[in-house]
Amino acid sequence: MMIAPAVELGIDIRVLAEDEGMSAQLAATAVGDYRDLDTVRRFAADVDVVTFDHEHVPQEVLRALVADGVAVHPGPDALRFAQDKLDMRARLTELGVPQPDWARIADTVELQRFLDAHGGRGVVKTPRGGYDGKGVRVVSDATEAQDWFSGLAEGDALLVEELVPFVRELAQQIARRPSGESVAYPVVETVQRDGVCAEVIAPAPGVDAEHAAQAARIGAEIAEGLGVTGMLAVELFQTDDGRILVNELAMRPHNSGHWSQDGAVTGQFEQHLRAVADLPLGQTTPIAPWSVMVNILGGPVGAAMVDRIPAALAAGADAKVHTYGKAPRPGRKVGHVNVAGADLETTRVRARAAAAAFA
Amino acid sequence: MMIAPAVELGIDIRVLAEDEGMSAQLAATAVGDYRDLDTVRRFAADVDVVTFDHEHVPQEVLRALVADGVAVHPGPDALRFAQDKLDMRARLTELGVPQPDWARIADTVELQRFLDAHGGRGVVKTPRGGYDGKGVRVVSDATEAQDWFSGLAEGDALLVEELVPFVRELAQQIARRPSGESVAYPVVETVQRDGVCAEVIAPAPGVDAEHAAQAARIGAEIAEGLGVTGMLAVELFQTDDGRILVNELAMRPHNSGHWSQDGAVTGQFEQHLRAVADLPLGQTTPIAPWSVMVNILGGPVGAAMVDRIPAALAAGADAKVHTYGKAPRPGRKVGHVNVAGADLETTRVRARAAAAAFA
């Protein structure tokens, strides 16, 4: 989704893809393993700036590119905090950013001690590789994480966090250039179902100016403190006593920012490109009072996505449908729908109706 | 510019390009001559619908595709009215659509007769192949078109039109599906400099409801009457006595509709795709009170377009820059800038400032 804004801006874009696929329609696409230094190095030899659409490129690869003189954004020193949740928690503690209580735990004894101190429950996370609820487990007894401890390599540990009494989840997007300029998007509400983002409402309904400013400040502190370049998404908990706590970080265009493609003057994919290329950043102002993004999950069984497009478009003449060229399977994010409008409830209904056409 | 919306909608798009170029970054691009039946036929064998980004595909080629069973939109019966200005004038006369006085002229005698009947001046046009002021000449004496008459093949003719006392130029965009549904965009003002579109303001400032409805009605009559499928742009004169007359037709996304990419819920490139694929059409509502499009003409001398991008983006954080991947040369359209805003004058200034960064 960075390709279209790159073409419009006249930026020559190359893609290193894992597999043949939608983006491999680009002649400039190389196919190869992003974990393989030679592959990435060969790819990077022809470009001015390297960026990513996920966090999984190994530190060794990133650091080798930097040593080669390649501009890597976000850089390895920032990206490691999105790659490792223990590193992230430790760094946010240093920065004084509000977050859930947490601990590094190497065994069930340490986990049980944390649970006992936090009402008997907690969220255990694998520091690396988690995604959309994977690598996350709510436990009320330390033995429930026994299998994860058994799988740990010598010296490794798990993360445990307090189970935050949150009333809803928010997300704050920030874009930051290497030269320092940063811009914030309005804080949004993210609605999760089964551990996966289902809907996003921009701006978050009923957030007062104080909380909106607090979310933007947290985003700016993290972007600055971690030296993030490109788009940063800060997933937040809003607690029943009105606190805002950091849940997760992503250093790339993120599901919680998809609304901006059709709902803001500058979409997050264009903004990420502008940020990593150190170009002046774009305005983040919404184009309508409300934008709603609804993920298309699973998608049709036994029918191609494209066959559902007529029904989706018929559901609302203002529905903006985005498909990812992925084969649908239950629970997989295969696209999303954005609708912008003046009234939240009717906007949300139209977005849901268009997304439901794919179900 | 149809590629990005096609990818978002999950429509597999193939391009037959004249030359290697920006769109040839797509692996699915074939390079070949659109005038060569075998080339086009081979290309069309793999697709469901064929459409165009210009009007110059020969009728023989179009009709052969239709005979092969390919869905061609707009079809040859419609497209010929965009290909031949004499055919267009004759058909609009049949439809009773308001247009300048005109005549088919085969020699200077016939031209002089028309000039004498129309205040001694007229606009002579070659029926085919004109573009951006080429093939158009204002004359006050028939001998001024002698060279064009000399070049005519046996049986061919030129078009002469009265020199309309217009106060400004407007354009009406309409999208129409093969199954009949059509939607109109708000009528816009187009500002020409040296025969080339320089700026577009959407909606046209100061157009009253009656004239706006008249422009939309003219657009709908032409789309219906000519059987246009896809986007139709109707270029209009507004006269000093308040009449609206048809100047030219284009059956494709058109310069006068570029504002809709960033200024309307559905941009004209997405709309064209939806129309030719017979998908439900998108909402044409503007996202802001005013949108201004400024063409980037000529572009930098001795510098790559991309080197001017930082200055263009710095000129306005809400400027949406679109480049075409064309080598700049004086007067050539190499891109455009859209800005949407609440106030016309400041919106126009920001759009001009961003475009000026390329001058």
- B231-262 pLDDT, tens digit per residue, is 999 999 999 988 999 999 999 999 999 999 99
Mean pLDDT by 10 residues, chain A (359 residues): 89 85 61 92 93 92 96 97 96 97 97 97 90 84 95 94 95 96 97 89 95 97 98 96 94 97 98 97 98 86 79 94 84 92 97 91
A101-161 against A166-356: fold identical: no
Alpha-carbon B48 to chain mean position: 24
- pLDDT above 90 as % of chain A: 78
The binding site of A for ATP comprises 85, 125, 161-164, 169, 247-248
Angle between helices A85-95 and A209-226 (to 10 degrees): 110
Distance in Å, alpha carbon of A14 to nearest chain B alpha carbon? 10
pLDDT in tens, B308-346: 899 999 999 999 999 988 877 777 888 999 999 999 999
- Whether A112 and A118 have beta carbons less than 8 Å apart is answered as no
- Closest listed residue to residue B193, CA positions, set B303, B346, B298: B298
Residues of chain B with Cβ-Cβ distance to A340 below 8 Å are: 265, 287
Q: Output the CATH code of domain A3-82.
A: 3.40.50.20
ipTM above 0.85, yes or no: yes
Distances (CA, A) of B342 to A184, A185, A287: 22, 20, 11
Neighbours of A132 (CB within 10 A): 15
Instruction: Read off φ and ψ for residue A154, nearest 5 degrees.
Output: -55, 130
User: A309, B281: Cβ pair inside 8 Å?
Assistant: no
User: B287, A285: Cβ pair inside 8 Å?
Assistant: no
Q: Which two tokens stand for residue A196?
A: 């996966």
Residues of chain B with Cβ-Cβ distance to A4 below 8 Å are: 3-4, 7-8
Structural domain boundaries of chain B?
3-82, 101-161, 166-356
Fold of the CATH domain B166-356: D-amino Acid Aminotransferase; Chain A, domain 1 (3.30.470)
Q: Which of residues 74-133 of A touch B (CB under 8 A)?
A: none
SS percent in chain A: helix, strand, coil, step 5: 35, 25, 40
Give the CATH H-level superfamily of domain A101-161: ATP-grasp fold, A domain (3.30.1490.20)
State residue B227's pLDDT score.
97
pLDDT in tens, A29-79: 788 899 999 999 999 998 999 999 889 999 999 999 999 999 999 999 999
Whats the size of chain A, residue-wise? Answer: 359
Q: Which two tokens stand for residue B36?
A: 């060569």
Helix (H) / strand (E) element for B336: namely: strand B333-341
pLDDT in tens, A214-256: 999 999 999 999 999 999 999 999 999 889 999 999 999 999 9
Q: Which amino acid is at B270?
A: E
Nearest to A313 among B22, B24, B279 (CB): B279
pLDDT in tens, B38-66: 999 999 998 999 999 889 999 999 999 99
Nearest to A26 among B26, B281, B309 (CB): B26
